[in-house]
Amino acid sequence: MKRRHFIKNTSLSGIGVAAVSPFINYLNLSEMGNFDPVCIATWSFPNASRKAGELLTAGATALDAVEQGVMVEEADIKNTTVGRGGAPDREGNVTLDACIMDPSGKAGAVVYFKHHTHAVSVARKVMEDTPHVILAGEGADQFARQQGFKKEDLLTENSRDAFKEWLKTKEYKPIINIENHDTIGMLCLDSQGDIAGACTSSGLSYKMNGRVGDSPIIGAGLFLDNEVGGAVATGMGEAILKSVGSFLIVELMRQGKSPQEACEEAILRIIKQNSNYKEFQAAFIAINKKGDVGSSCIQKGFSYMEYRGGKNVNFPSKFYH
């Protein structure tokens, strides 16, 4: 999308919002009765969105659907950015970040998590079985073992071989839209009109030891308000963290913007904050309480999955640059 058109469209949407009361009553949407279930997820992960979408169609809750959906990618060792088989850090350790939110606004997350494939499931246990929101590192691993999760070696033969190859040059330069920095983020709207979300990642390939991105941070990688909608992010976590983009999108939707308008505004904020925006990718997807969907990114090439009415489709996102 050309810059002048992007800005023009965003400006026009802002004019429309001015006439909308900031006190929109989203609660009345909960009284609409049956909703048409929808699942959206970042990138082209059709197996994950199909799993979640089929669960929703069968009557599952949004929370169960997002957990089961992203678990598909956590277990896929061919996916080098999520779960087992993810690319390691510069010390050769695979470290995972994940979070989950339920319709009530409760949240759980794990960061710098080393020894268990399904980080999202441990994050859910943090949410449901502890008084905390985030557990990190050794404490997160200890908690997982206490909850019965089996300790695993997340470094597969292929990821170990790739790491040895990387050590020859130790070049650290994330490539736009190449899967060394992306994430699976997912949002589900169930038949009761409830929204839940999850986000899970092994983070930047060959990152510094201890680095944590946006994926497990509530408000950055994921945020939702069941009265309004939700948003998830993917791409360069450092830029997304600084913008608190997912929270921003939900607040913009609360003020009356569509998911598409809100995502575009969040991308503009990142561009304003980062003069080097042409060198990285950042992207958002969002859904509101009515099931309307939006997506925007900096660079061409990002896409998202949408499962609705039995159809599982990958859509290219609108882009800025």
Residue numbers annotated as active site: 183
d(CA 257, CA 253): 5
Q: What is the C-alpha to C-alpha distance for residues 225 and 105, in angstroms, rounded to an integer?
A: 7
Radius of gyration over alpha carbons of the chain, in Å? 19
Alpha-carbon distance values, 208 to 89, 94, 193, 232, 248 (Å): 6, 11, 41, 24, 28
Which helix (H) or strand (E) covers residue 81, if one does? none
Q: Is 306 left (phi over 0), alpha (psi -120 to 50) or beta?
A: beta
| Residue 272 vs residues 31, 267, 269, 278, 285: alpha-carbon distances, Å | 39, 9, 5, 12, 19
Closest CA to 299 of 239, 211, 219, 220: 239
User: Under DSSP, is residue 218 helix (H, G, I), strand (E, B) or coil?
Assistant: strand
The angle formed by the CA atoms of residues 302, 72 and 286, to the nearest 5 degrees, is: 40
Tokens 């690319």 sit at which residue?
87
Burial 182-192 (b: 16+ CB within 10 A, else e): bbbbbbbbbbe
CA–CA distances in Å: residue 233 to residues 15, 26, 197, 243, 266: 26, 23, 11, 11, 10
User: What are the residues whose beta carbons fall under 8 Å from the beta carbon of 33, sequence distance 6 or more?
Assistant: none
